Amino acid sequence: DDFELLAADLSRAHDGAVTAVVRAAQLSSQAGSEQKLEVFVNLARRLQSLVHREISILDELENEIEDPDLLKGLFHVDHLATRIRRHAENLAVLGGAVSRRQWSNPVDMTEVLRSAIAEVEQYSRVRLVPPIDGTLRGHAVADVIHLLAELVENATLFSAPQTQVLMRANLVTSGLAVEVEDRGLGMPVGEQDRMNALLADPDQVNVARLLADGRIGLFVVSQLAKRHGITVRLQTNIYGGVQAVLVVPQALLGMEPGALAGGAAHPAAVTAAGPATVASPGR
């Protein structure tokens, strides 16, 4: 059936992804740069196509099924598909490609933050601290959601499972400040300095080494931030954990929330059954 065929496709795509990432990491010469970009982008597009197929099938089933237990299971699978899409987009970012998800109208930051939460495994641990200020121009929405999801994922992975991760968004003089804060074990000063250097200037980083260490998330953050002129910095908070602070420049901010056009994305929510994302233009 459709699910068995899709499972086989995803399995083959996963195997191909592992092979391609290893291959790309080994391309260290300047002559291999174009080849590396082609590997990442082509693989990313293939994975994205498969995920869109899966999401379409899930959407059809969610509309047909009324059993609450089955529906809850489908929501969890849909959440998994959303996470797979983000990892496929990571490969596209590594290849220098731009996201195909685009919004034409400004989106409220509450929706942007909720969609970022929906893309991480431990979404139930993340809490938005009101008030959430501001709106974001449509062309930057996909990348900011992706960037925030990577920061939230890190916060959940490096803090105890019984603790919360807090998110705030408030207007400041230079734009919009978004904070992602955990109560984990923190980060050694030397490592924090290296990661902040990466966030400030991703072009000086050895990508193959990051891939070998499995620390590609912050490199993706740095690339997305550079694309839009967003400043990102890690610092130790009063609890000993890590606080990631990013400042979205004024140029990316939309109109006031009360003046949003009717075509903006619909609100998203995190529920017991699973998280809902901002209505995607690609779905």
What integer pLDDT is reported at residue 48 of this predicted model? Answer: 64
Q: What percent of the chain has pLDDT over 70?
A: 63
Beta strands in 46-108 (DSSP E): 107-108
Contact by Cβ (8 Å): 203, 225: no
pLDDT tens string 35-83: 556 666 666 666 766 666 777 777 777 777 777 777 777 776 766 777 7
Weakest-pLDDT range from 97-106, 203-212, 215-224: 203-212
73 SS3 class = helix
Is pLDDT at 249 greater than 50 in this prediction? yes
- Which string of DSSP letters, residue by residue, matches 170-222? EEETTEEEEEEE--SS---HHHHHHHHHHHH-GGGS-HHHHHHHT--HHHHHH
Tell me phi and psi for residue 129, to 5 degrees. Answer: -100, 110
In this prediction, residue 147 has a pLDDT band, given cuts at 50, 70 and 90, of very high
* Model-wide pTM > 0.75: no
Is pLDDT at 272 greater than 70 in this prediction? no
Query: From residue 266, how far is each of 49, 124, 178, 189, 221 by CA, in Å?
Result: 24, 21, 21, 41, 25
Mean pLDDT of the residues in the chain? 77
User: For the residues 193-197, what does the mean pLDDT come to?
Assistant: 90
Place of tokens 């740095």: 222
What integer pLDDT is reported at residue 50 of this predicted model? Answer: 67
Cis peptide before 131 (omega within 30 of 0): yes
Q: How far apart are CA 234 and CA 181, in angstroms?
A: 10
Beta strands in the chain (DSSP E): 107-108, 126-128, 135-136, 165-172, 175-181, 231-236, 242-249
Contact by Cβ (8 Å): 129, 166: yes
Tell me phi and psi for residue 166, to 5 degrees. Answer: -105, 140
Residues in the chain: 283
Q: Which residues pair with 175 in a beta bridge?
A: 172, 249
pLDDT tens string 11-23: 566 566 555 555 5
pLDDT tens string 107-119: 999 999 999 998 8
